[in-house]
Amino acid sequence: MTRLLINIDHVATLRNARRETFPDPIAAARECLAGGAHGIVFHLREDRRHITDEDVRRLKSELDAKLDFELSTAEEIVSICIATQPELATLVPERREEVTTEGGLDVIANRNRLESVIPRLFDAGIAEVALFVDPDLDQIDACAASGANGIELHTGDYANASNWEERQYVLGRMAAAAERAHQNGLRVHAGHGLDLNNYPDFGAAVPHLYEVSIGFAVIARALFKGIRTSVSEMKQIVESTTYVN
């Protein structure tokens, strides 16, 4: 059964918009867990546009739950991740000008840096190191060669597909990438743009999904339904969707 992790970055974005102390992303994380989430995702960006160092400290010290620390390979952020020791570290590309993460990590081009960072994360006691990648088979093979033990498939192209034919094409690529990752011994995660409406087709088409990370769609729905209810609804969809071979 696929597990649901919730990204709380957008709660921190709202807080920071007014430079307030609320809404508290750690309190939101507790509500997500109360709604049935299996863990919490957060991205400590180099510019600290949403999650802050203090948020990271509190998430680790105050929550008894799986944490997925999303990070670039910048040395400062890698050092904070090592000190935090989350259960899962997900390495992602990062550009200052982007609104949200756009596209997967180029593992092939960044092989030397990744092969330096990944062993340090494992040596710190982090059980899972995943790479956020597009559904490209060469990139999947490079993930396995890098020493990571997982991938997170970037599902943005699927979520943003403009018509049925495009969506089916992307789903085929996603399914092939997940199968290749599984063959390489990599745990398969997925995320970016998934929601209540588009997840059923995705979950039915893509094999070996261990976890999915969903943030914006759940937090936005929570404005009207509440966090616990929004998480619970999303969890029900994820857990009731079965891969169709």
| pTM beyond 0.85, yes or no | yes
C-alpha radius of gyration, the chain, whole number: 17
Q: Which long-range contacts (CB under 8 A, 24 or more apart) does 28-34 make?
A: 28/219, 28/227, 29/59, 29/63, 29/65, 30/63, 31/226, 31/227, 31/228, 31/231, 32/6, 32/8, 32/218, 32/227, 32/228, 32/231, 33/63, 33/65, 34/228
The pLDDT of residue 66 is: 98
Residue 50 inside a domain? The answer is: yes
The pLDDT of residue 51 is: 97
Residue type, 110: N
Q: How would you classify the pairing of strands 187-191 and 209-214?
A: parallel
The pLDDT of residue 245 is: 82
The pLDDT of residue 96 is: 58
CB-based contact 218:237 (threshold 8 Å):
no
Residue 161 belongs to domain with CATH number: 3.20.20.70
CB-based contact 174:168 (threshold 8 Å):
no
Residue 208 inside a domain? The answer is: yes
The pLDDT of residue 102 is: 65
The total domain count for the chain is 1
Residue 245 inside a domain? The answer is: no
The pLDDT of residue 15 is: 97
Residue 105 inside a domain? The answer is: yes
Residue 87 inside a domain? The answer is: yes
> Which residues are designated catalytic?
43, 70, 192
Residue ranges for the chain with pLDDT beneath 70: 95-102
The pLDDT of residue 196 is: 97
The range of the structural domain enclosing residue 115 comes to 3-240
The span from the CA of 141 to the CA of 188, in Å, is 13
CB-based contact 29:9 (threshold 8 Å):
no
Residue 59 inside a domain? The answer is: yes
